[in-house]
Amino acid sequence: MACVVLLCADALSANDVPDLQLRIELDVLREMLRGHAEASGDYEHGRRFGPDSFDDPSGQPVVEEGRVEHCALCCRGHVVAREDGVVATRVAGNLVERLYHVLFRHVSVWREPILREELHGVVETPDLPADAQAKHFGVDHAVRNSRHAAIRLVDGDHRFEPCVGVRALAGVDHLLDAADGIHVFAEDCGSRQFHDEPRGKVVPPKISRERHFFQYFQKTIHGPTLEERAVACVGDVVRSGDRMEGSDDGFLGDRGTPIEHSVLQKVRCPPERHHFPFDIRRGVALDTGRYLLTLGNVAGGEPVDHVENAIDRATQSSCVFSFLGFEDRGQTAVRAFGGAHDRLGRTIVGRHRSSENGEKPTIKSVFRLHSVLSMANEMAKAYEAKLVEDGIYESWLSSGYFAPEGLPNITDSTEAFTVVMPPPNVTGVLHLGHALENSLMDAMVRYQRLLGKKVLLVPGTDHAAIATQARVEKNLMAGGMKNPRQELGREGLLEKIREFAESSKSTILTQVKKLGTSADWSRLAYTFDDKRSAAVNELFTRMYNDGLIYRGFRVVNWSVKGQSTCSDDEIETIERESMLYTFKYSKDFPITISTTRPETKVGDTAVAVHPTDDRYKTFVGKTYDVEFASAKLSIKVIASDAVDPSFGTGALGVTPAHSAIDFGMYEVQKAKNDPIEIKQVIGADGKMTADAGSVAGMTIEAARERVVSWLKEQGLLEKEEKVIQNVGTSDRYGDVIEAIPMTQWWLNVNKEIPGRGKTLRDLMREAVTTGLDGKSEQKVSITPDRFTKLYLDRIENLRDWCLSRQLWWGHRIPAWYRKTKSLPLSEGELEGVEIFVGAKPEGEGWVQDEDTLDTWFSSGSWTFSTLGWPSFAKATDGKPSDLEQFHPTNWIQMGYEILYLWLMRMILMSTYALNQIPFKDAYIHGILRDKDGKKFSKSSGNGIDPIEVIEEYGCDALRVSLLSGNTPGNDSRYYIEKVEASRNLVNKLWNISRFILSAKTPPPYEGGGRGEVEPKTLADKWILARFSETAKKVSLLIDRYDFSLAIEVLRDFTWNDFADWYLEIAKIEGEKSDILLYILERLLILWHPFAPFVTEEIYKNFDSGMIIVAKWPTVEHELSSEDRAAFDQVCSAVIAIRNYLSEHKTLPKDVESITIVNAGALAEMESVIGGLTKVKIVRSSMERPESITPIVVGAAQIFVQLPAVDAASEKIRIESEIAEATKFIAAQESKLANTDFVARAPEKVIAGERQKLADLQEKLAALQKEHAALVS
RNA sequence: GCGCGCAUAGCUCAGUUGGUUAGAGCGUCACAUUGACAUUGUGAAGGUCCGUGGUUCGAGUCCACGUGCGCGCACCA
């Protein structure tokens, strides 16, 4: 079995290792590490865990002879060989990580050694399999967080996070795992835990970047034989001919030059050298096969001369070396020590030059260096979102551009664009769903701002009555309280909730800002603040006065746990198994009935049958007195259409007090003047009432058992069967909803509104169909359209809305009673009570209703209560009010799960109060799910904090990843890989900009924008036209709310057209700065809605103010079809040549020349073709070279002069091309031979097809000619 | 039971009113890479567009039926 040993120099002594070869390595490695430890000030730590602490609990030799096939890396830690030949390793090491970073990551992280104490968090963990452990620690996460951790490390406070330790492990494991499915066991350091069993197989890396490195590593380190690798350890591998000369002008010089590959220097190594040499004393150089990677030693605080000595030694041993030094914080000077030249004699690594003032630079951190660079005026090598985002957001805030009044060139007549933010609940922290919402909203709003509109995004939060109260009560109960309401009382609990809500609110608002949301914070609203409360009271009062709100006795949804009613929309139905009992009330009772709720049967007052059911016809109208479980029941047999004669016995026991359906029958009977009784047997406390006979006072469950056993005793139970039943549960408290009759406040949706001639239902319907009062500008469109249908369906089945809640956290109902001792709970008590609705009435004895309003009552008024209704609805001093300017709002986004809860109520409230729709367009998005398609939720523990993602990848990357591939109304999944890809895209944009801006500083801005540019070459024309197309398309797509496609189009242009084609051509043709800047500036604007931060940061290089208020570009550049065809041909030619070279396994540098015959448009693009294919000589010619077979691109033939070509394989290539062409020609011909097609298809389509055929035929002819030549 | 959605490359998803040889990202394989970018470049492999039938000159796209998955609503006595 192949093993990888992860060795620990500190822990091993050579004597432990029987294998000589290995022992040599170990010696060397240990020496190396010691040197490393010494130099890094780490030695003492190393000693603490030195050889003495090594002790193999199993008594096995540390490494069994012949077992070890790879010796890869070294590190502090421990090695244990197990009987199965697997070598378990214990790794604490930072060296591995250092190597790892050095090898694969440029600068970036330079970790200080991990202290054992800090690792305890990791060490002290339960024994879990490694993958579970990885999950437990979030290893992937930790990997991603390494940079973040490093920052903390070098800040000098040495606060280590457990993830740092895991990070080290993860890195090593991945490296090793890359070997070949080897079992690698990683253990944490610390002798205390030494006797632990290894923890199992480590999961392979998931993140692409990491994988890439491993492959790279694997390819290069794991050479074919042990000898090679062993010898590589000795250090003396670079031949004396590889000179190492000092130089002062290396690019690591003293002039503040960017460090480039600072720690990692790439040095061309003779190809035959495939070893990784180490300098045993002072540094490490790894030959990866292509490069010799040299790593300078780290001298943590050591004087430079020490390092210099090291260099000398290193140089003597002919090991290529480089060293770096850094001065203290804030200084830009970076020094390179040592030097090296590549084979061409060019300086690769600058040699050290002592600092002028004689001070010795010391190495503190690599990361700091990066910061230094960012602080300097040049663009950093990679976009570091973390370093710029907060600053940029600050600058937006202080610019005033978030407020519509603060925007430039705004007048009263400027078109407004308003969006209200769906207010996040103040129940904790934001989740990824919020990140999606903010990305959508902010992209939209920024786009509109760039179009020059008077843009307002109103931010706010929602007190979320039930959700918040439930959360706080839960927290209190988790803290040991039994019944928070009882123990704290109304005011006490409210105080707690308020406290929680305020802290949660401030957290949330900070997070919303982190997401880059360009909201007008001066208009910040809260559903529970004074202004919004005033709007709520006003609405309630008006509706009451209009007779729409009434107090009614009704069966309501009751949550025993929450001690409150809830609306139909707040119920979540779940499936569960339950028993269906079939029985008679008594022996004499003529009809058998079924139920799943036997305990409620003590409240039965009737039995219902279908009117046409012959079985029971004779009983209808009769009343039977029975004694059921010691309760005296009077059961009347009634007929009702609601009964399904085919279900069960076709007869139904009617419990008016505890079933909405039955209550309906109760009302029908009352209306028919043939009333049945109503008898409440379940109380609000979830227990049986005094009316419940023998089960009075019992819990529901106990009562059920009791009734069932009674039925059995009496021999009344006929059948017992298991059924799957849907029951409603409270979505906040989770308990099963009981139906209980109560007096509550209701909103009547079917009553005509005085003076309007319409009901609320009518208004809600009109708003999405014809528009209010038939006005099309008062019509709400819903994207995607299918939700309109759902909405209308719901409208048709709408029932009165139960408004009152027995919660404390919320708007107290503005109703006052007089002459009541306690609040009425039953129908009868409604009478004789004086009710006043509005602000507190005059006079004595008024008591306010204890209840609060459904939270959606206040949310429903959100679009206009945030804009000043009712107090500031009118213009003052001739200035239009917010309401006049910004309502109806233009656009809103929300998830489909609140379509009924919120969208509907907003339409209701707004059409009622203002006779205006709340918004013109509603964009409905789906739910964001985790990578397995599961909903994010606290209980499944799959929650992801968007802020953490932002810290790691940047806000722009998160936004782009959430918006791309996400279509309206459809759920989407969240993948970290997607964020990574988006981060790469953002970085690409950054580097494109860096390249362009480093060539030329944008000229001063002159009002009206940087002037138009004139294309000089074909490529110029092409890119300008492509950009023009892109800009138009992006506008169109955003107008259609197709953010995903807009991003795709932008990405395609940015990466493929602009970076990969045009920028490469620009390098060849030169003198493109004007066009590049022209496009870049406008491209940044197109990107800005999606990636606001990076674009703003880059835009600083343009003297054009802030990009947030830039002008959306309109670009008009056309491309003639000839030019387009010509450019396409160039591209095809380049691709064909690359392809050809790839097929022939030939590098471009080995191609002597390329000759193009019948070049046509290609003739003037020779240098471009040469540049793009990296072939030095490209020429067009009338004469074809002898004995080469060309690539055929259109009419042109391209002859590539390879060192050697096999005629037979050429023949095969041509033949396969001929076959392919023939196939398509045949298809094409048959299509055109179809008379129906020619007769009926549009002209344009036919012409296109003909052209295609002609092109193919031309190509085929050329191919056949070549084939003939080859054969002859 | 009624209604809605989804089914396209190994994975996640795009695919605008029907019109090239169906796309992207990630992943895979091979190669390259010291002057913007290893967060890179180049090339390749990979698809019966769930099935059947229909409309049409032409269907991933429209229609019907079927299959599988998901969701909503109602019923759930």
- For residues A1168-1191, give the mean pLDDT: 86
Residues forming beta bridges with residue A248, ordered by sequence position:
none
pLDDT at A185: 23
- Best CA proximity match to A143, nearest among A1199, A976, A829: A976
Q: What is the pLDDT of residues A922-978, one digit of tens each?
A: 999 999 998 888 888 777 778 888 999 998 899 999 999 999 988 898 899 998 889
Q: Could you tell me the pTM of the whole model? A: 0.75
Q: What is the mean pLDDT of residues A535-558?
A: 94
- Chain B: nucleotides under 7 Å from a protein CB? 3-6, 12-15, 19-21, 24-44, 56-58, 72-77
Contact in structure between A190 and A15 (CB atoms under 8 Å): no
- Whether nucleic acid strand B comes within 7 Å of the CB of A934, the answer is no
Report the SS3 class of residue A844. Answer: coil
How many residues are present in chain A? 1272
Instruction: Please report which confidence band the pLDDT of residue A127 belongs to, taking 50, 70 and 90 as the band edges.
Output: very low
Region A1116-1144: mean pLDDT is 89
Rounded average pLDDT over A777-794: 89
Strand partners, A746: A550, A802
Residue A214 has a pLDDT of: 34
Of the ranges A348-362, A393-407, A1254-1268, the best mean pLDDT one: A393-407
Asked if pLDDT for residue A573 goes beyond 60, the answer is yes
ipTM, 2 dp: 0.95
Closest CA to A824 of A852, A853, A847: A847
pLDDT of residue A751: 93
State yes or no: pLDDT of A1109 exceeds 60: yes
pLDDT in the model for residue A1059: 94
Vertex A737: Cα angle to A735 and A742 (nearest 5)? 135
List of residues 6+ apart from A844 with CB closer than 8 A: none
CA A1187/CA A1180 separation, integer angstroms:
17
**Residue whose Cα is closest to the C1' of B18:** A1241
Residue whose Cα is closest to the C1' of B32: A1147
Tell me the pLDDT band of A123, cut-offs 50, 70 and 90.
very low
State the average pLDDT over residues A202-222.
Answer: 33
Model confidence pLDDT, tens digit, residues A152-188: 222 222 222 222 222 233 333 333 332 222 222 222 2
Do A198 and A185 meet the contact criterion of CB atoms below 8 Å apart?
A: yes
More confident call, A1221 vs A381: A1221
Residue A1005's pLDDT band, with cuts at 50, 70 and 90, is low
The overall average pLDDT reported for chain A is 71
Straight-line distance from CA A212 to C1' B43, in Å?
18
**A 717-736 residues, CB < 7 A, strand B:** 723, 725-728
- Report pLDDT digits (tens) over A815-860: 998 865 555 444 445 566 788 999 888 888 888 999 999 999 999 9
* pLDDT, position A1006: 58
* Per-residue pLDDT, A351: 26
At A1038-1067, the pLDDT tens digits run 998 999 999 999 999 999 999 999 999 999
Measured distance CA(A626)–CA(A589) in Å, rounded: 8
Pairing of strands A454-458, A416-420: parallel
- Which residues of chain A (301-320) touch nucleic strand B at CB < 7 A? none
Would the Cβ of A272 be found within 7 angstroms of any atom in strand B? no
pLDDT at A372: 25
Helix (H, G, I), strand (E, B) or coil at A626: strand
Residue percentage of chain A with pLDDT more than 70: 68
Type and span of the H or E element at A163: helix A162-177
CA of A931 to C1' of B48 (A): 29
What is the C-alpha to C-alpha distance for residues A792 and A858, in angstroms, rounded to an integer? 23
The pLDDT value recorded for residue A524 is 96
Average pLDDT over residues A643-665: 88
Q: What is the pLDDT of residue A863?
A: 97
Query: To the nearest whole percent, how much of chain A has pLDDT over 90?
Result: 37
Average pLDDT over residues A436-443: 95
A:380-399 Cβ neighbours of strand B under 7 Å = 381-384
Spatial separation of the C-alpha atoms in residues A335 and A1117, rounded to whole Å: 49
pLDDT at site A832: 67
Residues A469-504 pLDDT 10s: 999 999 999 999 999 999 999 999 999 999 999 999
Predicted confidence at residue A1246, as pLDDT, reads 86
**At CA A394, angle to CA A390 and CA A397, rounded to 5?**
140
What pLDDT digit, counting tens, does each position of A311-342 carry?
Answer: 333 333 222 222 222 222 222 122 222 222 22
More confident residue, A623 or A99: A623
Where is average pLDDT lowest: A105-109, A399-403, A820-824? A105-109
Query: What is the per-residue DSSP string for A1069-1129?
Result: H---HHHHHHHHHHHHHHHTTTSHHHHHHHHTTSSS--GGG-PPP-------HHHHHHHHH
Q: Tell if A1139 CB is < 7 Å from nucleic strand B.
A: yes
Q: Tens digits of per-residue pLDDT, A712-753? A: 999 999 988 888 888 888 888 888 899 999 889 999 999 999
Q: Is the pLDDT of residue A553 over 80?
A: yes
Q: Distance between CA A253 and CA A247 in Å, rounded?
A: 9
DSSP for A643-711 reads --TTSTTSEEEE-GGG-HHHHHHHHHHHHTT--------B-TTSBB-GGGGGGTT-BHHHHHHHHHHHH
Q: Is the pLDDT of residue A111 over 70?
A: no
Confidence of residue A1075 (pLDDT cuts 50, 70, 90): very high
A799 touches strand B (CB under 7 A): no
- Beta-sheet pairing, A606-609 with A651-654: antiparallel
Q: What is the 3-state secondary structure (H, E, C) of A543-563?
A: HHHCCCEEEEEEEEEEECCCC
Q: What is the DSSP string of A178-199?
A: TTTS---EEE---GGGTTSPP-
- Give me the DSSP letters along A76-131: SEEEEE-TTSPEEEEE--SHHHHHHHHHHSSSS--PPPPPHHHHHHHHS-----HH
Q: Find the largest Cα–Cα distance for chain A.
A: 118
pLDDT band at A1073 (very low <50, low <70, confident <90, very high): confident
Say whether the CB atom of A1251 is under 7 angstroms from strand B.
no
Residue predicted with more confidence, A613 or A453: A453
| A80-84, A330-334, A335-339, A395-399: least confidently modelled range | A330-334
pLDDT at residue A1265 in the model: 85
Q: What is the pLDDT of residue A297?
A: 27
- Nearest nucleotide, CA A345 to C1': B34
Task: Confirm whether any atom of chain B, the nucleic acid strand, is less than 7 Å from CB of A243.
Answer: no
Q: What pLDDT shows up at residue A378?
A: 58
**In Å, how far from its chain's centre is CA A123?**
31
Distance in angstroms: CA A774, C1' B72: 29
Residue A335: predicted pLDDT:
24
Residue A822, Cα to own-chain centre: how many angstroms? 52
Does position A1022 have pLDDT exceeding 70, yes or no? yes
Q: What's the pLDDT at A582?
A: 92
**CA of A552 vs C1' of B75, distance in Å?**
26
Structure tokens belonging to residue A362: 């010391």
pLDDT given for residue A1235 in this prediction? 83
A191 or A910: whose pLDDT is higher? A910
Q: Residue A232: its pLDDT value, please?
A: 22
